[in-house]
Structure 1
């Protein structure tokens, strides 16, 4: 009977500790949800901290329960060592989840206080990259803490420090390109050269910055392809950032037309097209002749819009509307080639015939 009681006592203590951990985790989550009830984005992120929080509380409870009940047994040190490893990992997991919550809270607070999309994109880029750096540091510290809890590893510390100089040189040469990308990623995030959501022209492709990591940049192309570029690309290669200072853009549509084209009438129709669409932001517009050579008249329509999506749609709209108008009302305005036949007897001496 005493043997049975000795076996059931630690089991009961562990079960009680786990139950208490579940209750405490549930209460803490309820409190957090109540505090963040008005911030849906942050409340959604808090779900990621539920499991690591419960795991931390459960491991602490189990360690305390086993310490009070079976500390004098031969297997307790081994189990306690494993629990310490698990606790360090769970704390690191929880710290990373907390960094996610802090990131979401900072972005939500800024979004409520300011409607400046450009500054929001800049803050999002910097906060996201900073959170990833913090996560990398947390994981590194957690691994180091686990190793330092092992006496055999601590005994090797002097030898490791003695050879650290040589190892650092070898490692630096081995990961030179990777470190260059890491530093380039940090530079891009905190110098405001590009931000998540910026419209950029790279490799003759127009796309949107979708993700900035410490080593590479993801550019979402308009046809849903993804271009993955190393961070060093944006620090060593010229590229176009269409939305660095603001999202508003100018766009042009050019037509090569016949000399008989009624430009004034086309200008009136162009202005009417702009007045009927919400794509035009009313900042700028013009309809002018920019060239009259090689048998054609070149007309350029210039428009403005809030962002790259609107400017693309507006340019397509203007192009289609103007072509349809010419087809209906002035088909003679389309470019044509002319030649003249001259009779042989009309050609002056020394001039070539046609």
Structure 2
């Protein structure tokens, strides 16, 4: 193997053949080409070694092809700087560029390791399971922290790269400081961005929302599809996407239907005539839900929750394992109960009663409408029991009679 003096003599000879201006470029091109060929051969050997292995390293190595190739070129550039006869200005520039590139490569590799570690961890979780609450908790935490980590690595790498150049070192130092005290450095000008970043960390720790949670935000019902470092994507039931800033989930109220469990209670209302067969409806409701694949076997109930002059309000409650199943169960119960009432008890459907009196007059005799048709004075007396003399004359009362 030739020593350093022999290598220098070879480089000097190449520069003599191609001239002082073109010679350095020929040396750089030849050495870089040799480095690329060496990397290609070495990479094939590395891939054969890790092909049948498992673990984090086996998943990281295949993604390091481009960073390793660039790193080899940087090392080669360092060797050229020390061995080649280059002008002093070129040596200084190449040294700084090589150092900055090496720092960027280290940041690049760190990002790759972070992404592979997150993918490997989340790949073990059973997100397709019916009861995936714990899995969604872990995925949400890991994804949010991953994005925060990527941003931190980027700021640190950029700050170190800028710090290698004397003219922009102050900007690099500022970015380096912002990674640890971003709020103090950026100040109020970057408050919206920082608020979302801080909200992302809060969401990762406290988890008011998780991936695939069913939420109602701004009056829209949907699932949490994605949580980024600054916003949340909510997939609405009609396949629209609602983009919501992260700070919204920290500062404003919203509904989370799957906060502790995916099980949810669904309700169905019917407005029926007073003669509706409530006991038979309870039996029919249980029959419907027991034959439905959407019911989870926990809650089924039917009650009269309200009455008014014309109809009664009948409410049915039933549970399902997920909100989509609860929606399907509600629709199924509503439809089948209406069909049963139409077929077996048509008289239970809402209707309006009227009574024909002498002279052919059609009047209603129930509810507050009867009072509305009477003179105000009579209606007031019947409703309140206040003596007529106590009511002002302008409101239908009578003036008090003076004694003797």
TM-score (norm 1): 0.82
1:71 corresponds to which of 84, 93, 97: 84
Note the 1:122-137 alignment, pairs <5 A: 122-137=137-152
Note the 1:8-19 alignment, pairs <5 A: 10-19=28-37
Instruction: Indicate conservation of the 8 Å contact 2:159/2:173, yes or no.
Output: no
Confirm or deny that 1:285 pairs with 2:303: no
Partner of 1:105: 120
- Which one has a bigger Cα radius of gyration? 2
Secondary structure of the corresponding residue to residue 175 of structure 1: helix
Alpha-carbon RMSD: 3.6
Give the number of equivalent residue pairs: 337
User: 1 CA distance for matches of 2:237 and 2:157?
Assistant: 41
Gaps of 5+ in 1: none
Alpha-carbon distance change, 274 to 157 in structure 1, aligned in 2, over 3 angstroms: closer
Secondary structure of the corresponding residue to residue 294 of structure 1: coil
Confirm or deny that 1:333 pairs with 2:348: yes
Confirm or deny that 1:60 pairs with 2:71: yes
User: 2 CA distance for matches of 1:23 and 1:242?
Assistant: 56
User: 1 CA distance for matches of 2:174 and 2:215?
Assistant: 46
User: 1 CA distance for matches of 2:142 and 2:167?
Assistant: 39
Secondary structure of the corresponding residue to residue 247 of structure 1: coil
Secondary structure of the corresponding residue to residue 234 of structure 1: helix
Confirm or deny that 1:205 pairs with 2:216: no
Deviations 1:74-112 (A, max 9, x none): 345434543433333333222212111111122233449
User: 2 CA distance for matches of 1:248 and 1:21?
Assistant: 56
Alpha-carbon distance change, 170 to 119 in structure 1, aligned in 2, over 3 angstroms: closer
Partner of 1:196: 211
| Displacement after TM superposition at 1:50 (Å) | 4.4
Deviates more, 1:212-221 or 1:114-123: 114-123
Instruction: Indicate conservation of the 8 Å contact 1:25/1:50, yes or no.
Output: no
| Displacement after TM superposition at 1:116 (Å) | 5.6
Instruction: Indicate conservation of the 8 Å contact 2:307/2:313, yes or no.
Output: yes
Partner of 2:258: 243
User: 1 CA distance for matches of 2:185 and 2:155?
Assistant: 20
Alpha-carbon distance change, 248 to 204 in structure 1, aligned in 2, over 3 angstroms: same
Gaps of 5+ in 2: 1-9, 364-372, 376-404
| Displacement after TM superposition at 1:169 (Å) | 6.2
Secondary structure of the corresponding residue to residue 52 of structure 2: helix
